[in-house]
Amino acid sequence: MLMGRWDDAIRADAEAAEVPDASSLAAMAMERTLLGLVHAVRGDFELAEKYLFRDVLESSDDVQAVGTLGVTEAVIRFFAGRYEQAIAAAERSIGTREQTGMIGPVVGSYAMAADAALEMGDVKRAEEFLAEMDVVPRGERSSYFRSEIARLRARLAALRGEAAAAQAGFEESVAEMRPIGMRFHLAAVLAQYGMWLESEGPADEAVPLLAEAREIFEDLKATWWLERLAQPVAERSAAR
């Protein structure tokens, strides 16, 4: 899923579902929650909800189950446009940080919470989430985490009209994300960078960025993003 091989991930999930009692194992459920993002981005929220595995994860004594449930719910709520609920779910996952460290679900939850705040126009709240991310020691930051920090810093700089800082942040985010092969996340950065460039004036620099993002989203059938990219430029927000 993280590599953007979503159809392969769906086939693997179907195989996992055939394992006797697989859905009752918290470890298996935590892996399968990844499909929640796939189905949410594709607009199938009824199916995405099934990947919360709430009964199994809520009853688990593994703190990672709490974080996994939180970030998956945040993702589903975000793409459904329920931003306040997305933040609440993300904060539950973030709350496990002291016990788990800066693992994937915690990093993803910070990014989801900040993005949800920006979608609501709550810049101050987004800045607060970014501030929490910024105090994490550099030695504890994965490439994914560094990319998300740079991306959010760029989005906030764009809102403040700080063009140089915004461009530097987007370029850093792309540079961190591209080598690790997370295609959906890379496309999201490229799309946000390209849409910001469009809003700044001549769109020549934006064209290849948006074309690459669109190609990835079409391959993934990521309808949420494809619909956003299809909007007239004037209707797009620089924060998005």
State the burial class of residue 130 (Cβ atoms within 10 Å of its Cβ: 0-12, 13-18, 19+): buried
pLDDT (tens place) for every residue of the chain, 240 residues total: 999 999 999 999 999 888 877 667 888 899 999 999 999 999 999 999 999 999 899 888 889 899 999 999 999 999 999 999 999 999 999 998 888 888 888 999 999 999 999 999 999 999 999 999 999 888 889 999 999 999 999 999 999 999 999 999 999 999 999 999 999 999 999 999 999 999 887 778 999 999 999 999 999 999 999 999 998 776 665 444
* Residue 238 pLDDT: 43
* Residue 201 pLDDT: 77
* Residue 20 pLDDT: 78
HSE-up of residue 6 (Cα within 13 Å, Cβ side): 21
Residues 6+ apart with CB under 8 A from 126: 114, 115, 117, 118, 152, 155, 156
- CA–CA gap between residue 207 and residue 188 (Å, rounded): 15
Q: Which of 81, 41, 236, 80 is nearest to 158 (CA)?
A: 236
